[in-house]
Amino acid sequence: MIFAAGLGTRLKPLTDHMPKALVSVGGEPLLKRVIFRLKDAGIERIVINVHHFSEMILDYLKENHNFDMDIRISDESSMLLETGGGIKKAAPLFDKEQPVLIHNCDILSNVDLAQFYDFHGTAAATLLVSERKTKRYLVFDKDMKLVGWTNIETGDVKSPYTEVKEELAKGVEMVGAHLSTPNYQLYAFSGIHSFSPKLFPLMESYPKKFPIMDFYLQNCGKVEIKGYLKKDLKLMDVGKQETLAEAEKFLSEL
């Protein structure tokens, strides 16, 4: 599934006239770049959610004959559902027996998507993470099971585990290239993850609109949500004007 429904407010004024997914980087729309990355990884069916300038995305796909792929549209034109709500609405379009690879339309990276997808195994979800410096981190135990989230600037912590909250409250330190505590390690989320359809029953009580990360954090004590660490990750979020200018150089480095 490609998330392409966002308003792209950080890319204004470009997105006053087009969806973020069709913004060009290195001569090709972001959406096309992600579609071909998925195609190269062996993906055969893609679900794309649309909202902002949705007709432009539909026309673009039609003009290109869906790039000879099975592409299905989850239409959020009437209401933007955020990431969790977007996955929930798209449920009927997925294969109920296979995990779903989720990819933001504005991410460029050197990730081997086929290898990442195969790693999923029996987990309920797998999150691609790295040692990138940020303010907000996901927290994992020694087995790379998700146990929480923290903002190291504000000290905010989200976790279903009291012991995680207590340990993080004592502070974190740099160990090697990443932050950690005696029992937990902190990594940055990449915006790429895989999601098992067995999670849909847990979504039934959720509203139409909600963030997927909140869902993961609220349910990581009930199901296994794993982290997949890529230490040599090269990734760029092309969601801002300043990164858009750097993206072509980044592509050449990849």
Mind listing the domains of the chain with CATH numbers? 1-107 (3.90.550.10), 111-233 (no CATH)
Q: Is 54 helix (H, G, I), strand (E, B) or coil?
A: helix
Higher pLDDT among residues 244 and 68, named by residue: 68
- Is pLDDT of 214 > 80? yes
- Is pLDDT of 240 > 80? no
CB atoms within 10 A of CB 66: 14
Residue-averaged pLDDT of the chain = 93
Please state at what angle helix 212-219 crosses helix 82-89, rounded to 10 degrees.
90
For residue 250, give the nearest of 108, 104, 112 by alpha carbon: 108
- Is pLDDT of 226 > 90? yes
pLDDT reported for residue 170:
92
Higher pLDDT among residues 253 and 135, named by residue: 135
- Is pLDDT of 15 > 90? no
pLDDT reported for residue 9:
72
Cβ contact 227:119 at 8 Å: no
Residue 180 CB partners (closer than 8 Å, separation 6+)? 172, 173, 174, 186
pLDDT band at 250 (very low <50, low <70, confident <90, very high): confident
Phi, psi of 235 (to 5 degrees): -145, 140
CA distance 3 to 86: 8
Query: Worst-scoring range by mean pLDDT, 91-95, 112-116, 177-181?
Result: 177-181
For residue 190, give the nearest of 245, 120, 108, 82 by alpha carbon: 108
Q: What is the 3-state secondary structure (H, E, C) of 170-231?
A: CCCEEECCEEECCCCEEEEEEEEEEECHHHHHHHCCCCCCCCHHHHHHHHCCCCCEEEEECC
CA distance 16 to 9: 8
Alpha-helical regions (H) of 41-175: 54-63, 82-89, 113-119, 162-169
pLDDT reported for residue 59:
97
Phi, psi of 146 (to 5 degrees): -65, 130
pLDDT band at 18 (very low <50, low <70, confident <90, very high): confident
Q: Give the rounded distance of the alpha carbon of 214 from its chain centre.
A: 13
pLDDT reported for residue 186:
97
Higher pLDDT among residues 168 and 6, named by residue: 168
pTM above 0.85, yes or no: yes
pLDDT band at 84 (very low <50, low <70, confident <90, very high): very high
For residue 146, give the nearest of 205, 229, 235 by alpha carbon: 229
Please state the rounded mean pLDDT for residues 219-243.
90
- Is pLDDT of 242 > 90? no
- Is pLDDT of 88 > 90? yes
